Structure 1
């Protein structure tokens, strides 16, 4: 039975999509890392190891389910598994599972968190260096506990963050220790079992290694150590050559200890490492250990939760933000009918939401937030919404939307029902920032009539053009639509498009001048729809064969055109879509163009920061707005295609013609790192072009995709300072610094957590001189009853005077009542050239 969860409006938070980005550091001296991050010389990387384990475990789970249900499972479980093949095989086992991109997204999120651990410096435990086995094992077991708690709470992104970090440390054990050299043929299960003792560890005075002979380190571990099965790991230091007498070094040109007797090292990070002759065995052992870890989580949480963790059974969340100011009226009736139609259209399908969220708002406040997994319960909550008579026609629409964005999982479908202006328009920048973070799609449904004063009043009298433009801007940033609910049939057609499964964005632009746009449609696309929004723009659409159709022709050779208010929707005919299309738009007023379709081939975009010290080309995802004017790096993953050739990755101005070209480096079959030399001044989108080679098509075809969410850069930095951490119920202070290289003045400060009843205080503003900085402090007390393993996110926002700029930083707290590590906590800073994030794990 499903019960709703109510969240108080005052507990607005940062969605946990942020947490998987907060696992790195830059400005401290490098520490030894593990397996490589970028492919080189045939060595397996952390990402490849993690993906291989995910695919193997998912294939095993789906094979077992198929056997239990009497279904065939013919997919060979070997090293050649791909996300596409596993998803298809699992769909046969389960009858219906989610599309490819969500599975790939789960792998990418975990891998990004995994890779970013290489930025965790001066932490021997994270990499099992310096024989630090106890603390390393504690990190793993406490991280596993955090994964399981997050899954129980339905916070799967938080779970993937913890899982990625755990996987890195676990995998490093097999690269940095002598477990493989001891002749072991199975993973060291004790690492994931806190109840088992760590036996046969090398003592502090035990001599382990002898010097390598030149570059040959194949027999530098003493024979008696191998015979007695004594466990050790290499020592590492960047600046000092000191190490205990007779101990092994990590090895490599960054390790100063490897030049001191005994020289050389024992790491197996890559084929060219000191013990690189054992790299393949160590990597395969790491894969097996990661599979064992995943099985431990599956057994503890069950198949359903495990599938959601893997991204294979987690449909998008459907969230409604309802304006309830005024009497029951045609507005409320239309809003309810539209909402019920959306709910019913997904029931019984593979796209039926796993969760529903409802957030009411009026002219005084917003909330509470209500969650449920049952569609009928959700409809009853909508029906029971009580209205309140307002004193004006302005409501807290953005407050309700912000609460929803911070509480709903990422990539949620959010619908805002209103017939009035937003009195809290000052939150626009904060809402835009949360849309960037969550990548959720926001759609505004504006009703045409209201009876707040007892009479039907045209919505144009309630919503000025500036009011409507505010909603359009926010919808446009998220890749959503602003729909006028005038005709139920016409509006429902647009709504159906918005919530269709497997939606991908081909192109999206906005302008205020006549322009020509081209776009490629590939064979994987179906149900392609073109939207032109604006005040009567004139447009002509051209097919690859030269056939044209004017926007004034409702039914033509290329498609059917539907008009709802200022929105024109062109549904392309199914025949002859492949190739280069063009659309010419003639207008001197603002308009927007959007082209979407259904396809299993999609693209994931993430901004990342390269760690150029400590490990060659290590990186972790950045979760702040990139700094305007500086270079940046993106991680790009093409999902659902057998193989792709990416030819162009571009940062394109959302409302302009400016383009920044990226240089592309492959880091996998369908994964790429892209460097750009600068970030545009205004809003921009990421566009990818390439060639799709699919086994279902006889010839390669050109394809393009675009990020549905717009991005912005910032000239503000937020730097959090390390502070002591206390147990739940004990207050602590977190100092932070805000800096800007542009204007001075009064900068607005906001801070939010996602943990209900957290006690928190912070300054509402800081005064900065031009080009200067200012410091503040956040005082926070986590509730004493917080369950051990709970992940908590804290966001800090700084907004420039006049709302001209905004940036945010994020702190992840993992609450634990376990025994202390590193005198009570370990804390790490991720300084992303323009922002620093701190990851605090309570212990």
Structure 2
């Protein structure tokens, strides 16, 4: 009960130096105790924070996910037997390249996927451990061609830090297309996660004739939504493409433009003074097509004619780069495709090495002017605030405008003015924008510090939708679910477009925590949604609820992602909300025990004393004391004397816990005290001492800590002393007067 005692100081656990630690001889014991207490607080198997709240919440709480990850998701089925060694070599080369740069990642993630199994995720901060794990991978089993690529990718993204790049190597299409919404939700949640696919086609090409749908459609969707790339090659070409990836790792990569072509219209590529190299990727039916380049000096020819470095060239893709470090290479280049099939699309991406880039966020602004992040996909026609963050602010002279392009890159949907945010750090800009009625890319144009025009495009596709999906504030109990109980998430759908029927579904993602479980997630956690459909007129709103229930035996500490998907019948776009759900230990409810037992207050001893004489004018010269003891079975929270302690009294605690011993001292001006003790439930007891009551009527009770009054009758010692002193003074004055007159008479007789 430290409230009864003055602090005496502690033990310095930082040093055993005698001059710094008065209790230096206890340093080792105190330091080890503190360390163990910290470990127990976080990781004790029964009471540790890690097990109680789950890994994902634990990592967020302590901000452990900093930096970026380098993630590899690798197909290890038997059909990859010809490519697996090249894939392993490429992954190891990429890891070695990353560790040598100033942009080295904070952790490495490797996820193998097979069929019917995938994972587990291997996560390490040591590049040597990553290389050793990759070296041990083999290609076996798998059965049919389509594989569990999305399941592996989902696990890889889950274990990667926001802003990372994930590389997926496979020769097969995805079997688990039902996992696509989970992957899309993770990409949207993580922000700036980019997925690059390296496809060797070996398995899928052998079965393509039997396929009824377009191969790799899920991969194209993921790459488009994450701003990633797709590379087609063979086992020899993997090594060449590794050089592209290594180049991207060694230097900051930005996207100049991204578009789809179906004609021979030239494409202008502005090469500003911050670009020492740019890379071109063209995907499409290239059997008869001719790629023609015109450089900034007007020289025209094929990539090979102009000394491009070619990384891969096949009937469906070509990837090449140009060195533009020399000043004469700066300026506008042109790309032109000849002999193309007008019925086909040719996807062109131009990226570059440059420190000048940008990122953006779309924000909603409420009536008070406060901006906050969007939930779900943005709605067609919404008026939003576009916040832009420039990297390499010192490399630009001015920013001209922001542009929204359709996904072909050929149509400009919106143009807006960009202004710097006043009073904020450099590199932050804002534009008021109106969203178009179709998906778009965001581009930024301006002038660099050498006067050259620059163009940058964010490669991530922004989807828009006709209905708004949002969480209902204050109705979310889904974050933590107890064993055998359920959590709820209330959501709201508002239709901003024409009347439509919304289909609603919910899914549970792969186990995200470090706690491994040996049964399917669906057997320990079950998610349902109500309703399953909504028929909404234009402008109509309806609410629904997601219910997640944990099995009685659900493993404590596992964290999964629950994804709510809502789609309309008029558009293929899917709006998504997601939430992390952690199974936590059911709290032990201890029934409340009402304490009706009063504490005790006992006088142990008294000393001194007060008589009637002591309580008069000289009351301050006499002191008395009483020692009391108070006890309680649970807790004592108050010891209160009456009258309260003033300047002339004291209350000193000699012992304190569930038993309190104290001594009260006072002069006879305060001849009595009543001490009340109280426990935390309000039960009280009292004890004390009283010297006045036995003499009541003989003297007036003194006013404790107040003026001292004379007694109404009788003479105390003080009174007698006063009278004697007064008489002596009077006699002295009389003697002086008599002597004065005698001296005066003598002087007169002498005259």
Q: Secondary structure at the match of 1:723?
A: strand
**Match for 2:454 among 692, 703, 707?**
703
Q: What residue is the counterpart of 1:676 in the other structure?
A: 433
User: Within 5 Å, which residues of 2 pair with 1:462-501?
Assistant: 466-486=214-234, 487-488=236-237, 489-501=239-251
Q: String of CA shifts for 1:507-564, please: whole Å, max 9, x gaps.
A: 11123333332232222222221222222143322333323233xx41416x344433
Q: String of CA shifts for 1:196-236, please: whole Å, max 9, x gaps.
A: xxxxxxxxxxxxxxxxxxxxxxxxxxxxxxxxxxxxxxxxx
* Deviation for aligned residue 1:707: 0.7
* Deviation for aligned residue 1:626: 0.8
Q: Quick check: 1:804 aligned with 2:559? A: no
User: Within 5 Å, which residues of 2 pair with 1:342-491?
Assistant: 342-385=94-137, 389-437=141-189, 438-447=191-200, 449=202, 466-486=214-234, 487-488=236-237, 489-491=239-241
d(CA) in 1 for partners of 2:128, 2:534: 52
Q: What residue is the counterpart of 1:525 in the other structure?
A: 275
Q: Secondary structure at the match of 1:421?
A: coil
Q: Quick one: structure 1 residues 779 and 430, their matched pair in 2 at CA, closer, same or farther if it must change by over 3 Å?
A: closer
Q: Quick check: 1:515 aligned with 2:515? A: no
In the alignment, is the contact (CA less than 8 A) between 1:733 and 1:777 conserved in 2? yes
Q: What residue is the counterpart of 1:610 in the other structure?
A: 365
d(CA) in 2 for partners of 1:812, 1:431: 14
d(CA) in 1 for partners of 2:58, 2:457: 27
Q: Quick one: structure 1 residues 370 and 611, their matched pair in 2 at CA, closer, same or farther if it must change by over 3 Å?
A: same
d(CA) in 1 for partners of 2:571, 2:133: 36
d(CA) in 2 for partners of 1:385, 1:601: 39
Q: Secondary structure at the match of 1:685?
A: strand
Q: Quick check: 1:737 aligned with 2:492? A: yes
Q: What residue is the counterpart of 1:599 in the other structure?
A: 354
d(CA) in 2 for partners of 1:678, 1:689: 19
Q: Quick one: structure 1 residues 727 and 769, their matched pair in 2 at CA, closer, same or farther if it must change by over 3 Å?
A: closer
d(CA) in 1 for partners of 2:319, 2:373: 36
Q: Quick check: 1:653 aligned with 2:420? A: no
In the alignment, is the contact (CA less than 8 A) between 2:79 and 2:171 conserved in 1? no
| Unaligned 5+ runs, structure 1 | 1-145, 161-304, 694-698, 818-843
Q: Secondary structure at the match of 2:398?
A: strand
User: Within 5 Å, which residues of 2 pair with 1:101-180?
Assistant: none
* Deviation for aligned residue 1:426: 4.2
RMSD: 4.0
Q: What residue is the counterpart of 1:715 in the other structure?
A: 466
Q: Secondary structure at the match of 1:353?
A: coil
User: Within 5 Å, which residues of 2 pair with 1:291-330?
Assistant: 314=67, 316-326=68-78, 329-330=81-82
Q: Quick one: structure 1 residues 462 and 395, their matched pair in 2 at CA, closer, same or farther if it must change by over 3 Å?
A: farther
**Match for 1:667 among 421, 424, 435?**
421
By percentage of residues, which structure has more helix? 1
* Deviation for aligned residue 1:401: 1.5
Q: What residue is the counterpart of 1:19 in the other structure?
A: none
d(CA) in 2 for partners of 1:689, 1:526: 19
Q: Quick one: structure 1 residues 748 and 793, their matched pair in 2 at CA, closer, same or farther if it must change by over 3 Å?
A: closer
In the alignment, is the contact (CA less than 8 A) between 1:600 and 1:640 conserved in 2? yes
* Deviation for aligned residue 1:591: 1.1
In the alignment, is the contact (CA less than 8 A) between 1:522 and 1:702 conserved in 2? yes
By percentage of residues, which structure has more strand? 2
Q: String of CA shifts for 1:446-487, please: whole Å, max 9, x gaps.
A: 22546x9xxxx8586798982145434433443332223422
Q: What residue is the counterpart of 1:747 in the other structure?
A: 504
d(CA) in 1 for partners of 2:376, 2:468: 9
Q: Secondary structure at the match of 2:500?
A: coil
* Deviation for aligned residue 1:732: 3.2
Q: String of CA shifts for 1:42-80, please: whole Å, max 9, x gaps.
A: xxxxxxxxxxxxxxxxxxxxxxxxxxxxxxxxxxxxxxx
d(CA) in 2 for partners of 1:355, 1:341: 16
* Deviation for aligned residue 1:505: 1.2
Q: String of CA shifts for 1:140-162, please: whole Å, max 9, x gaps.
A: xxxxxx99x999979887767xx
Q: String of CA shifts for 1:361-400, please: whole Å, max 9, x gaps.
A: 2233533222111223223333444655233111111222
d(CA) in 1 for partners of 2:195, 2:329: 28
In the alignment, is the contact (CA less than 8 A) between 2:470 and 2:492 conserved in 1? yes
Q: Quick check: 1:564 aligned with 2:313? A: yes
Q: Quick one: structure 1 residues 462 and 403, their matched pair in 2 at CA, closer, same or farther if it must change by over 3 Å?
A: farther
d(CA) in 2 for partners of 1:560, 1:411: 29
d(CA) in 2 for partners of 1:151, 1:548: 60
Where relative contact order (Cα < 8 A, 6+ residues apart) is larger, the structure is 1
Q: Quick one: structure 1 residues 350 and 702, their matched pair in 2 at CA, closer, same or farther if it must change by over 3 Å?
A: same
d(CA) in 1 for partners of 2:218, 2:375: 25
User: Within 5 Å, which residues of 2 pair with 1:118-267?
Assistant: none
Higher radius of gyration, 1 or 2:
2
d(CA) in 1 for partners of 2:105, 2:223: 21
Q: String of CA shifts for 1:652-684, please: whole Å, max 9, x gaps.
A: 112242421123332144221112222341x32
* Deviation for aligned residue 1:636: 0.5
Q: Secondary structure at the match of 2:377?
A: coil
Q: Quick one: structure 1 residues 781 and 501, their matched pair in 2 at CA, closer, same or farther if it must change by over 3 Å?
A: farther
Q: Quick check: 1:641 aligned with 2:396? A: no
d(CA) in 1 for partners of 2:221, 2:508: 24
| Unaligned 5+ runs, structure 2 | 1-48, 516-523, 586-751
Q: Return the TM-score normalized by structure 2.
A: 0.59
d(CA) in 2 for partners of 1:609, 1:340: 43
Q: What residue is the counterpart of 1:777 in the other structure?
A: 546
Q: String of CA shifts for 1:333-383, please: whole Å, max 9, x gaps.
A: 332222223223333332433211122222335332221112232233334
Q: Quick one: structure 1 residues 781 and 391, their matched pair in 2 at CA, closer, same or farther if it must change by over 3 Å?
A: closer
Q: Quick one: structure 1 residues 734 and 686, their matched pair in 2 at CA, closer, same or farther if it must change by over 3 Å?
A: same
Q: String of CA shifts for 1:757-814, please: whole Å, max 9, x gaps.
A: 7945223971122536462332366999989xx9997653324469812112345799
Q: What residue is the counterpart of 1:172 in the other structure?
A: none
d(CA) in 2 for partners of 1:612, 1:814: 35
In the alignment, is the contact (CA less than 8 A) between 2:172 and 2:202 conserved in 1? no
d(CA) in 2 for partners of 1:343, 1:548: 38
Q: Quick one: structure 1 residues 520 and 585, their matched pair in 2 at CA, closer, same or farther if it must change by over 3 Å?
A: same
**Match for 1:619 among 355, 367, 371?**
371
Q: Secondary structure at the match of 1:660?
A: strand
d(CA) in 1 for partners of 2:282, 2:69: 27
Q: Quick one: structure 1 residues 512 and 396, their matched pair in 2 at CA, closer, same or farther if it must change by over 3 Å?
A: farther
In the alignment, is the contact (CA less than 8 A) between 2:79 and 2:202 conserved in 1? no
d(CA) in 1 for partners of 2:171, 2:211: 7
Larger mean Cα displacement after TM superposition, 722-731 or 488-497: 722-731
d(CA) in 2 for partners of 1:376, 1:430: 31
Q: String of CA shifts for 1:632-654, please: whole Å, max 9, x gaps.
A: 32101112222542211011112
d(CA) in 2 for partners of 1:692, 1:151: 48
In the alignment, is the contact (CA less than 8 A) between 2:233 and 2:312 conserved in 1? no
* Deviation for aligned residue 1:323: 1.7
d(CA) in 2 for partners of 1:151, 1:799: 32
Q: Return the TM-score normalized by structure 1.
A: 0.53
Q: Quick one: structure 1 residues 157 and 632, their matched pair in 2 at CA, closer, same or farther if it must change by over 3 Å?
A: farther
